[in-house]
Structure 1
Amino acid sequence: MSVAPSPALPQQTAAEQVRSVLARALSLSLTLGGQTYDLLGAHTVGARGRITLHPPADTPLTDHLALAPADALDARIDLTDIAPTALRDRVRARVTLTGRLAPATPGDPGSLRLDLARVVLRTGTGTHEVAPGAYTLAAPDPLALEEAALLTHLADAHADLVSELVDRAGSRLPHGVVRALPLAMDRHAVSLRCEYGEGHCDLRLLFPGEARDAAEAGDMVRRLLTAPRCAHHH
């Protein structure tokens, strides 16, 4: 029960979505030579989205790197973006980056940078190829790092407000909503997942203006309750 939003609606670009996923990711999976390693807290994202891996010492990954020929470090990095609230089907996006690993600092094998060749974003609306140039020029959404706290606060402390927002959507939603929970938030809008006995649909509510930080986002959510009805669902 998901329809792509109109391109005319303000929304993050695919490149911004990828950068936002990376900005808040604590873990990733690295695939090298057919072997996959799960890394937790072992990467950083620098200027222009440059990913640097900091493999922990004395692990199967460092053994693999020590034995790998210098010209055979083709790598794939996978990240999964999970909704912070306890809704059904919590995977919001998957990001795959492929390229080659090289020492981040010449002569220092302790950290490795990914020289990017390809970026793919998969969401509920489909698969999107992101040009590496667009990726490096994009910036994460300004709410990316605070989004989880904003959504969990909305779910835990303001369930009545969420219900009111769903009520305001009125005829735009199919009947029979069993539960609604915050799904996502960016500078343009808050999205709610409306769950039914079977299946769900997502409701995107555009803010009256752009939110540049958490305080403005909270204000925008409150203003939605008094704004003209302008909900869009997909």
Structure 2
Amino acid sequence: MPQLPEQTAAERVRSVLAQAVSLSLTTDGQDYDLIGMHSVGRKGQITLHPQADSPLTAQIEAAERGSVAALLEFTDIAPTPLRDRVRTRVTISGWLAPAEQGASGTLRLDLARVTLRTATGAQEEVGLDEFALAVPDPLAVEEAAMLTHLADAHEDMVADLIVLSGSRLPHGVLRALPLAVDRHAITLRCEYREGHCDLRLLFPTTARDAVEAGEQVRRLLTMPRCAHHDQHSPADH
């Protein structure tokens, strides 16, 4: 069976970082929850922007070697009200140091390791070169708005998309909601009394932005049943 197109692990990590507004940071003996205090550069460089008088800034300034070992965790949560909303977790380790020698405030992270863990428990380490060269999916930043709009305003469209699976899904679906969308496909979560199945519907052509993704969804609904590809994951079912 040919491999269906999907994001690489490095692209998924970069997409999670592009969407994230918060992160959890662990340093030597300290834990921090940072909201709206980080930025990600074009090649994935992570910069933290704590307040000048924050405990984190004080910890870095007091470090004997001018840097501290750090572990950053990003949790990718589905924007729709699913039972299990965690889609992936990204863990990045390295060393935090002032972004400019002798300066306080802005901190840079010198990367050591990047790991992606999926909702199924699968874990993959991403090479640092792959991470730097990868780019976020073009729909990453707008994904949450797209999925919530589809769930809130187009329940009929979601139901019609489920019909495209034919007899491939187990019977007894209690609820179906959008789970994810990227340039290649839209994924729906079908919930049962116990467990769920994820249905991934491949777009006829790759979407370059949110407008094209909407067009691809509509094309899926008008194509002959045999003209589309789908794959489903019977997670916990």
TM-score normalised by structure 1 residue count: 0.94
Q: Distance in 2 between matches of 1:225 and 1:159?
A: 14
Cα distance, 1:206 vs structure 2: 0.2
Of 153, 161, 164, 2:157 maps to 161
Q: Distance in 1 between matches of 2:25 and 2:46?
A: 12
**Cα-Cα RMSD:** 1.3
Say whether 1:134 aligns with 2:130.
Answer: yes
Maintained 8 Å contact 2:67/2:98: no
Residue-by-residue CA offset, 1:121-150 (whole Å, 9 max, x unaligned) = 000241011011100000000000000011
Q: Distance in 2 between matches of 1:121 and 1:23?
A: 15
Of 7, 10, 13, 1:12 maps to 7
Maintained 8 Å contact 2:98/2:106: yes
Q: Which residue of 2 aligns with 1:148?
A: 144
Q: Which residue of 1 aligns with 2:172?
A: 176
Cα distance, 1:35 vs structure 2: 1.2
Q: Which residue of 2 aligns with 1:3?
A: none
Q: How does 1:49-128 map to 2 (within 5 A)?
A: 49-71=44-66, 73-125=68-120, 126-128=122-124
Partner letter of residue 232 of structure 1? Q
Maintained 8 Å contact 1:54/1:111: yes
Maintained 8 Å contact 1:169/1:229: no
Residue-by-residue CA offset, 1:151-195 (whole Å, 9 max, x unaligned) = 011101111000011112121100000000000000000000000
Q: Which residue of 2 aligns with 1:27?
A: 22
Cα distance, 1:7 vs structure 2: 7.5
Maintained 8 Å contact 1:204/1:233: yes
Q: Which residue of 2 aligns with 1:231?
A: 230
Q: Distance in 1 between matches of 2:58 and 2:102?
A: 17
Q: How many residues align?
A: 229
Cα distance, 1:69 vs structure 2: 1.9
Cα 1:46–1:92 change in 2 (3 A) is: same
Structure 1: any 5+ residue segments left out of the alignment?
A: 1-5
Structure possessing the higher relative contact order (Cα contacts under 8 Å, 6 or more residues apart): 1
Cα 1:7–1:38 change in 2 (3 A) is: farther
Cα distance, 1:71 vs structure 2: 4.9
Query: Bigger shift: 66-75 or 163-172?
Result: 66-75
Say whether 1:216 aligns with 2:215.
Answer: no
Structure 2: any 5+ residue segments left out of the alignment?
A: none
Q: Distance in 2 between matches of 1:198 and 1:7?
A: 31
Q: Distance in 2 between matches of 1:7 and 1:85?
A: 31
Q: Distance in 2 between matches of 1:64 and 1:102?
A: 10
3-state DSSP of counterpart to 1:105 = coil
Q: Distance in 2 between matches of 1:132 and 1:164?
A: 41
Q: Distance in 2 between matches of 1:192 and 1:144?
A: 17
TM-score normalised by structure 2 residue count: 0.93
Give percent identity, aligned residues only.
65
Maintained 8 Å contact 1:203/1:233: yes
Of 170, 184, 187, 2:183 maps to 187
Query: Bigger shift: 220-229 or 68-77?
Result: 68-77
Partner letter of residue 26 of structure 2? T
